[in-house]
Structure 1
Amino acid sequence: MRCDTVGYGFTPAVESRRLLGGIVPSRSTAGTEVLVYRLHRSDQTRGTVFTIACSQDLPDEATSRFRALSEPGYQQPPGCGACMLAGTPGRVWIGGVLVSTMTG
């Protein structure tokens, strides 16, 4: 994953580190896993861009879980708690996000 925003960006990584020069005990000889952000300059002048390297199946599956993105012309019902009976049967949506699928 990589993030670029106005003037700078970062790439996160999980690395094993010996904390405080090894003073802090660790269950592993490799050290403790910590989240590290590597900062870099960015030519981005507006907005923020996240880049994630993955197979096309992952974003397709994620997009399919958002009804507004997967069903052209979908209009979210006004108010809360509306029961929608339109669309493919067996799908349970909460706030426009697919949370479960039931067969039959």
Structure 2
Amino acid sequence: MNICTVTQATIGEVVPLFNAYREFYGQPTDLIQAEQFIQERVEKEQSIIFLAYLDGEAVGFAQLFPIFSSVAMKKAFILNDLFVAGYARKQGVAKALIDQCYVYCQQENARYMML
């Protein structure tokens, strides 16, 4: 398994997964809007998206949104989105994505990460 941060170059790989994630929660399919949403988050640096690959195929993602802890005067993160394609479940992808988010938060000296 390989986990990478989504960049402008890899937005197209996360869009189908993001769309499937939204469908899972009862939203209509909309690949165009999904791509625009992800594009804006990446361009404006409003989220960090990790993409998991099994055998070179994108199979899952996690999206962190930054917030702040006033008391600690530090950055914190919300793990808002986590999704693994049905056929790739039960292979440790979700755990690996959560672990990657945790490592990223530690590297950023974040006060906490919440789900």
- Give the TM bin, normalised by the shorter chain: under 0.3
Higher Cα Rg: structure 1 or 2? Answer: 1
TM-score by length of 2: 0.20
TM-score by length of 1: 0.21
